[in-house]
């Protein structure tokens, strides 16, 4: 079997996927119709044509607008099940999935509706296909610390059902330090924390995420290699980086896949995992990311094995479960 086929067929974990970013145009239109919402795009094709991003913010504007079709528990369940059905085709056996309550609660969709819906979809995938999932609540960093604290309050009644906390949305101008106190409270609840850092933002944001938020993984982190001391630290401490190659190209972090920092990251000894981020918007799920990376870099079988091993190793499941997968 060639390297690509083996990489695609290997069992793997996905550690960086936003459930709202798995909303395919077809489902968005179906939900708009079901919920009687006038959707501001003429057709599925017109919506897809709008997926032409110049940077992170240009994507986020559309991503938040599309999320407006998600209203009911059933909508969130359908969204989760559709993602897991698709991820299974790429041999994902475990997924740690971000959700953004602040995208929904200001629209009048309750925290409980979001959580129960996502859990219902995940329960079907667990029963039907044995898929394992964890939910990670992400705070939107363009909003205030006060708003993040209020969201954490909303989460408290359900805290046993939330596995960890993360930080996403517009990075530049919203450094991790803004959420130092929120993350201290999340950690005091006994939860692991992660943060998007070094996607568009500078390596200094990765340092802040480590030192101030005390994250156990960095989401993206593709700019880490601009700082040799930071690269050495990440490698030495085996901090996993959840890299999303197609996302980075679609959001113009790199002009083309061949210019992605993955080879430098590997040369720096970093613990890399490959993920899809917002697959409905960026041209594909985990399998498409693997194909695009392999077309650009022709990594060997050992490198791919290492990526997938890292995905289980860096996951938040217990050691006994990891042993079964590794
Ligand atoms: N929210 C969804 N996708 C994101 C990304 N790539 N970066 C920051 N926030 C996001
Ligand atoms: Zn992301």
How much is the pLDDT for 39? 87
- Ligand 1 atom having least distance to the Cα of 244: 6
> What's the pLDDT tens digit per position in 24-70?
999 999 999 999 999 889 999 999 999 999 999 999 999 999 999 99
Q: Determine which residue's CA is closest to atom 9 belonging to ligand 1.
A: 169
Task: Determine if the pTM surpasses 0.95.
Answer: yes
User: Which pLDDT score, from 0 to 100, does residue 1 have?
Assistant: 73
Residue 102, CB-side half-sphere exposure with 13 Å CA sphere? 21
Ligand in nearest proximity to the CA of 139? 1
Q: Whose CA is nearest to atom 8 of ligand 1?
A: 169
Helix (H) or strand (E) holding 117: helix 111-129
Decide if pLDDT at 318 tops 80. Answer: yes
- DSSP class of residue 277 equals B
Rounded to an integer, the average pLDDT of 304-310 is 98
DSSP label of 278: S
Strand partners, 194: 217
The full 3-state SS of 184-242, as one line of letters, equals: HHHHHCCCCEEEEECCCCCHHHHHHHHHHHCCCEEEECCCHHHCHHHHHHHHHCCCEEE
The CA distances from residue 15 to 47, 85, 195, 219, 275, in Å, are 27, 16, 12, 9, 7
- E strands, the chain, in order: 12-18, 92-99, 132-140, 164-168, 194-197, 217-220, 240-243, 271-274
Please tell me if the CB atom of residue 18 comes closer than 6 angstroms to any atom of ligand 1. Answer: yes
Would you state the pLDDT for residue 262? 98
Please say if the pLDDT value at position 326 is more than 90.
no
Taking the CA of residue 100 as reference, the ligand 1 atom at the shortest distance is 1
Are residues 80 and 88 in contact, defined by beta-carbon separation less than 8 angstroms? Answer: no
Tens digit of pLDDT for each residue in 168-203? Answer: 999 999 999 999 999 999 999 999 999 999 999 999
299 Cβ partners below 8 Å, 6+ apart? 3, 293
Nearest CA owner, ligand 1 atom 1: 169
Token couple for 320:
């006994």
3-325 has which CATH code? 3.20.20.140
HSE of 65 in the Cβ direction (CA atoms, 13 Å)?
Answer: 15
pLDDT tens, position by position, 112-151 = 999 999 999 999 999 999 999 999 999 999 999 999 999 9
Give the residue, out of 56, 241, 245, 254, with the most ligand 1 atoms within 8 A of its beta carbon, to mutate for a pocket test: 56
Binding site per annotation, positions: 16, 18, 196, 277-278
List active site positions: 199
Name the average pLDDT for the chain: 97
Query: Contact at 8 Å (CB) between 105 and 133?
Result: no
| pLDDT score, position 15 | 98
**Helix orientation angle between 25-34 and 73-89, rounded to the nearest 10 degrees:** 160
Rounded to whole angstroms, how far apart are CA atoms 48 and 45?
A: 5
Indicate which atom in ligand 1 lies nearest the CA of residue 21: 2
Residue 197 CA to ligand 2 centre (angstroms): 10
Tokens of 216: 């156990």
Regarding the beta carbon of 278 and ligand 1, being less than 6 Å apart is answered: yes
Query: Binding site for Zn(2+): residue ranges?
Result: 16, 18, 196, 277
- pLDDT surpassing 90 at residue 230: yes
Q: pLDDT class for 315, splitting at 50, 70, 90?
A: very high
What's the token pair of residue 305?
């094995």
Extents of the domains making up the chain: 3-325
* Ligand 2 center to 248 CA (angstroms): 10
Choice from 17, 21, 280 to test ligand 1 binding pocket (greatest atom count within 8 A of CB): 21
User: What gap in Å lies between CA 10 and CA 279, rounded to an integer?
Assistant: 19
Return the pLDDT at 40.
84
């Amino acid at each position: 079997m060639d390297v690509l086929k083996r990489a695609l067929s290997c069992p793997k974990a996905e550690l960086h996927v936003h459930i709202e970013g798995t909303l395919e145009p077809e489902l968005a239109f179906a939900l708009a119709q079901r919920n009687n919402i006038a959707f501001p795009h003429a057709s599925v094709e017109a919506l897809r044509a709008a997926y032409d991003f110049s940077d992170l913010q240009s994507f986020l504007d559309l991503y938040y607008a599309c999320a407006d079709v998600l209203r009911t528990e059933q909508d969130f369940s359908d969204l989760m099940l559709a993602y897991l059905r698709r991820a299974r085709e790429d041999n994902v056996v475990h997924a740690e999935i971000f959700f953004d309550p602040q995208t929904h609660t200001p629209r009048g969709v309750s925290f409980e509706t979001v959580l129960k819906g996502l859990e219902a979809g995940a329960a079907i995938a667990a029963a039907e296909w044995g898929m394992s999932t964890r939910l990670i609540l992400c705070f939107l960093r363009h909003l205030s610390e006060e708003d993040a604290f209020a969201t954490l309050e909303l989460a408290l009644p359900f805290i046993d059902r939330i596995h960890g906390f993360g930080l996403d949305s517009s990075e530049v101008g919203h450094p991790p330090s803004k959420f130092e106190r929120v993350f201290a409270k999340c950690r005091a609840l006994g939860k692991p924390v992660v943060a998007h850092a070094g996607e568009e933002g500078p390596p200094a944001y990765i340092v802040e995420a480590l030192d101030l938020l005390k994250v156990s993984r960095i989401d993206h982190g593709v700019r880490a290699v601009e700082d040799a001391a930071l690269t050495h630290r990440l490698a030495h401490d085996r901090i996993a980086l959840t890299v999303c190659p197609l996302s980075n190209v679609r959001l113009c972090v790199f002009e083309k896949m061949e210019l992605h920092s993955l080879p430098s990251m590997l040369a720096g000894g970093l613990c890399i995992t490959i993920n899809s981020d917002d697959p409905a918007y960026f041209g594909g799920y985990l399998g498409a990311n693997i194909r695009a990376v392999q077309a650009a870099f022709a990594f060997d079988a050992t490198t791919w094995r290492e990526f997938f091993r890292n995905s289980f190793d860096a996951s938040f499941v217990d050691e006994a479960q990891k042993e079964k997968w590794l």
